[in-house]
Chains A and B, each alone.
Chain A
């Protein structure tokens, strides 16, 4: 007996409104956690973020995958239980209420209604009954008549559908939760627990992954990604689970013919689409299809979606320019594939080049930034009138060509990251090859601008730089510079001093660029004269660069240079780039010269058995909510008493203002109806 009452108490609790509201609140609060902690990131990120102490604590609490965690699913489970109990508890009284007319209501209870009125009626009872019955029918009520000792009671009701709304909406919640559970990772967890499946690390060949980490084609609920490079095919999907992966065998093979990547003029992505051929393993039947974002495709019970895209191993042809003193004067050719590392032994280097990514184009805003003229408030407003198509700031979106990003790792394992552009870019009126360097992935790239010569090539810069940084040639540069700068009639003494200064300047510059020169100036020259001295040093460097250029051309057997206006700009740029190259950190500059782009698509593949259930639940939820909120149950009672008095009472399941208004209308209508004026 006692046991029974405990059960009863649990049932009462589960089905109580208080419990349901507590659950809803708890669910809301629990959901917030998952929006504060980023979900399903690689575990390393969490380790970095929370540190070694909190990381395992939070892992135990399931904070990295809140919505799949045990406790969250438990709350959802209780919601299902509570809602079901509530439905169960309400079914009988609600059905009784829906069916019943309450035609046995006593006069006393009717007069206790908030909305009730009495008035005298002037018709015979039978006639009054018929009139009221017709009135009720006309107003959309269904009526039951009870002739009893105190008179005739017409019990009418409308809008009982609102009760159905209750069942629809609450049943829908149960359906949606159940469907959602089927599509979540609960089935996977069960398979891992019962079927002995375990995750494995992602860093291995697919063929080496053991069967214990593979899920069969008959798995009825999964969500994974398929990676396919152009021209290749795949028949397994990768499921990311916790900090590892599982492989899902697919009942078909997908091959990617081509991946389409389109952009708007602004460089914003416009279209991602994969031309695929799907071949069913069992039948050999194949289908060609284009899958794009918002246009998924279902095959053999598996839905396929365009999820993302990656590089599928593009091949880059690079030209390496040796930047080391005494390095090879001629550039060498090498190749690299995105996602792979190349040892640079052939070029005489201990380094490896890890080509991380390739971009076939880069769209940049090339408009010169103009400082905004202050033209007053009205002009400012006027700038924002007109069409929404108008850009308030000047824009000049241009494709500046392909670029690569790679790491250069030395023998000690230290790596720097580089970003090199394939084509020269116009900046401040001159063309440069840009190459960016950074020491850590979080830092922005610092760019070195390699100037282009009269032929539109970077070769001159490499040649000048070579000569200028070659200590053995400094005396010759100094001699030539002194001769050109001082003219023929200078005394040998002055000339020798000039030569010496030039050689010293070159030596300092070759050692550490402008920085060494700056230090030298600071340590030897009084503060008042430093600016002037710096100018002199720059002049010397520019003159020396000009001499070095002539020497380099002679070395290469090229005709002598004719001085021209654009050369002074080139010399300045040459000095700047040479200075930057001393801090470039790489022995070689790699210029991309050609590429064979290979793209890869990432398709998401899913089997979600719960989807139809969830959709059905959603439909019922909408119907239920509208029925509950907008179908009003109203009961109207008219008691025609034999004493010549009538009693009208109205009840409604919602206490809103219009009930009163409605009651007044019915009362007045009925009063008129039962007291016809003599004329009619």
Chain B
């Protein structure tokens, strides 16, 4: 995700055979998808599919564990699709589908794994147990793998309902909550590897657990998990780029806020000998906000381009747009203060935490309290 600057030798020379295999598999996968499902795509969908190849390849080159994660979740999704044999009813009949890798079941597994991982990280923090931390980390990897499998299978299932119903599962509050948990989880795992510390896990997984708790409430109380067809305004390839970019932003901001909590504790001397030093936490917080801000900027712009096509105007101060703007302003100010004024310390951590409140309102609060065009998920 970071633009490669670590090594100075040319990129191609740094690639291992594993990298090449990974890139080859990505390209092969894209071509297979194009051949198999090209009939359901328009030219923009195809372009996005093809651009995903270099995008995911770069991810894998810069962050090696990502390759195995993607391979595992794709393999699981393919097994699930093969087991379905094009018949939705088999989700009830085939053991592996019903209890492991149909979309709902996989998402339930993701939820359970995130909860257990949170517990393991907390134990690791309390008992200073590296083993518990390592377990938490492994469980988080399993959780994001199951969640990603779940979303990919859900995508396939939506087409089994009907070709006119099928769509990428990024269209309502239920689906984006799964995405939020995945993005935050992946971002955490990235920073965990990069800073070689697992002690932030207890904090970051806490916010993921909160999202998962909401997801479960939404499933069991509101039956929100049922795949719904798309209203005309949402039937667009823009959804495939706008929504993920947005959730890299939301995920990164959430992560930054939780690291901010850890940062404040360390500065107060609480858990200071168990957590990474404040300057590490501060650095993670900055990195997360920087990546979040960059992607949130892209997401908002993509949203504007989409709005221009769907609603006839790229910006119309719809509540969701306005709150996205407020979130953007908030982090723009944060970055100005840190980078230009060179400010450090608890103030920025407090601000990052407050930022999560603003972000949460833009994400969920707008749907709950305000009405507008982004009415894809009311509570």
Residue total for B at the interface (Cβ-Cβ under 8 A): 77
Chain B residues with CB below 8 A from A295, complex form = 309
Contacting chain A: which of B52-60, B64-72, B157-165?
Answer: B157-165
Supposing A293-B233, A384-B219, A388-B157 touch, asked if A655 and B342 sit within 8 A by C-beta, the answer is yes
**Contact call B342/A384, Cβ cutoff below 8 A:** no
Query: How distant is B371 from chain A, measured CB to nearest CB, in Å?
Result: 8
Give the residues in chain B near A386, CB-CB below 8 Å: 91-92, 97-98, 102, 104-105
**A66 to B325 CA separation, bound complex (whole angstroms):** 15
Tell me whether A21 and B314 are in contact (CB under 8 A).
Answer: no
- Cβ 8 A contact of B220, one of A31, A38, A138, A380: A380
Given A24-B333, A386-B91, A625-B297, A391 contacting B226 (CB threshold 8 A): yes
Measured in the bound complex, the distance between the Cα atoms of B305 and A611 in whole Å is 10
Restricting to B105-139, which residues have a CB under 8 Å from any CB of A? 105, 108
CB pair A632 B108 closer than 8 Å:
no
Alpha-carbon gap, A628 to B293, bound state (A): 12
Give the distance to chain B from A302, nearest Cβ to Cβ, in Å.
Answer: 11
Q: State whether the Cβ of A371 lies closer than 8 Å to any Cβ in chain B.
A: no
* A589 in the interface (beta carbon within 8 A): no
Contacts A21-B337, A270-B229 given; indicate if A606 touches B312 (C-beta within 8 A): yes
A388 touches B322 (CB 8 A): no
Does B326 lie within 8 Å of A622, measured CB to CB?
Answer: no
Scan residues 24-55 of chain A and give those whose CB is less than 8 A from a CB of chain B.
24-25, 27-28, 31-32, 34-36, 38-39
Question: Which of the 9-residue segments A261-269, A335-343, A521-529, A531-539 touches chain B?
Answer: A261-269
Against B, the Cβ 8 Å flags (1 = close, 0 = not) of A577-618 are: 000000000000000000000000000101010010011001
How extensive is the interface on chain A, given as a class? 35 or more
In the bound complex, CA of A625 to CA of B294 (Å): 6
- Give chain A nearest CB distance to B344 CB in angstroms: 8
Q: Closest CB-CB distance, A610 to chain B, in whole Å?
A: 9
Flag whether A440 is at the interface (Cβ < 8 A).
Answer: no
Q: Which A residues are CB-close (under 8 A) to B341?
A: 17
Q: Which residues of B contact A268 (CB under 8 A)?
A: 228-229, 231
A38 to B369, CA, bound (A): 12
Give per-residue flags for A654-677: 1 if the beta carbon is below 8 A from chain B beta carbons, else 0.
111100000000000000000000
- Asked whether, in the complex, the Cβ of B339 is within 8 Å of the Cβ of A384, the reply is no
Q: From DSSP, what is the main secondary structure of chain A's interface residues?
A: mixed
Which one of B2-10, B28-36, B265-273 is at the A interface?
B2-10
A270-B229, A385-B104 known; A294 vs B236 contact (CB < 8 Å): yes
Which A residues are CB-close (under 8 A) to B337?
21
**A329 nearest CB across to chain B (Å):** 49
Question: Which residues of B1-39 have CB atoms within 8 Å of chain A's CB atoms?
Answer: 2-3, 5, 8
**What residue of chain A has the Cβ atom nearest to residue B151's Cβ?**
A388
Which of B183-191, B256-264, B279-287 lies at the binding interface? Answer: B279-287
Task: Assess the B304–A618 pair: CB atoms within 8 A.
Answer: yes
Question: Chain A's nearest CB lies how many Å from the CB of B318?
Answer: 9
A393 within 8 A of B: yes
Chain B residue nearest in CB terms to A35: B319
Please, what's the 1-or-0 string for A264-279, where 1 marks a CB less than 8 Å from any CB in chain B? 1010111110000000
Q: Which positions in A face B, CB cutoff 8 Å?
A: 17, 20-21, 24-25, 27-28, 31-32, 34-36, 38-39, 66-67, 138-140, 180, 183, 223, 264, 266, 268-272, 292-296, 303, 305-307, 380-381, 384-393, 604, 606, 608, 611, 614-615, 618, 621-622, 625-626, 628-632, 654-657
Q: What are 6 sample pairs from A and B whose C-beta atoms fall under 8 A apart?
A: A31-B317, A140-B8, A223-B313, A293-B310, A386-B97, A387-B103
Closest 10 CB pairs of A and B: A305-B312, A293-B232, A387-B91, A386-B91, A604-B312, A35-B319, A618-B301, A630-B3, A385-B105, A28-B329
